[in-house]
Amino acid sequence: MWPYVIREPIEIGTYGVMMAVGFLTASWWLGRDLRRRNIDPAVGDMTIMIAIVLGVIGSKLAYLLTEADSFTLKDFVSGAGLTWHGGLILAAAGIIGYWLSKKFPLPVMLDTVSPMLASGYAFGRLGCLISGDGCYGVTCQPSSWDHFMCMAFPNGIVPTAPGVVVHPTPLYEAVSNFVLAGILWKLRKRFKRPGILFAIYLAWSGFSRFLVEFIRRSDGRPDRLLGLRDAHLIALLQVVLALAVVGWAIWRSLPPGQEYGVLPAPAPKSARKKR
């Protein structure tokens, strides 16, 4: 594994680099789709900025509040210890608040960012895999049928023990979410009613995380209900929310000018001045 790109004169970790690649890719995709939907691409830049800032803060807070043994300023500013769902929740709250303040239709905006949510998560999981940060699966048994998929991380930030191979759960999630991102991108023009694309994202990502969590090491993360951890429960909540979003998208009255998630083109500046 390759935990750091460089160590001197400054330390740059491969996880941070992959996060940056994920955000840059999302920014490019988002700008393209916003133009298609007749929305100013500058909205995408602000959305990405909010996602970066609140995502990192939320990920760190979630880790410290639910998994870490201590909560100090030093722990907060360190580069280690991030929990994806915490970042997702805080960033989502900030981004939705921004969209509503600008009076953008929420279902349209949620559909717009769905492929980028999947790809961003996939790049983040690749960062986990390359850096060997400890988000591994359980130890593989030599006699198990899936032993050929297992890997060792002797040089990772959190190395595996000599001779031990584990399920590379970050790789599983990265592949799943890259596939999801591609499917969402292909389907983004297919649904007349906004919101359905976002529901597909919620259901797929939630269900895949729920399954993967069974073969991830617990690493001290406590069981909350019926042997399920926080990540299990949040993933199940995603699936339930997906069903609710589908029902809402189908049964609500579709506002004029939002068919297929494409908003009316803004009037030319000259026409606005004449008014």
pLDDT along the chain (275 residues), means of 10: 85 89 95 97 96 87 71 57 76 96 96 96 94 92 85 93 95 98 97 97 97 91 86 94 97 94 82 53
Give the HSE-up count for residue 260: Cα atoms under 13 Å, Cβ half-sphere. 10
Counting Cβ atoms within 10 Å, is residue 74 exposed (0-12), middle (13-18) or buried (19+)?
exposed
Position 72 scores a pLDDT of 62
pLDDT in tens, 57-106: 888 787 777 766 666 655 555 555 567 677 888 999 999 999 999 999 99
Position 82 scores a pLDDT of 67
Question: Strands 12-13 and 4-6, how do they pair?
Answer: antiparallel
Position 88 scores a pLDDT of 82
Position 79 scores a pLDDT of 54
| Tokens (6 digits) for 120 | 């961003």
Position 204 scores a pLDDT of 98
Position 141 scores a pLDDT of 87
Q: Where are the domains of the chain?
A: 4-252+259-265
pLDDT in tens, 182-204: 999 999 999 999 999 999 999 99
Counting Cβ atoms within 10 Å, is residue 83 exposed (0-12), middle (13-18) or buried (19+)?
buried
| Tokens (6 digits) for 210 | 């729920």
Position 40 scores a pLDDT of 96
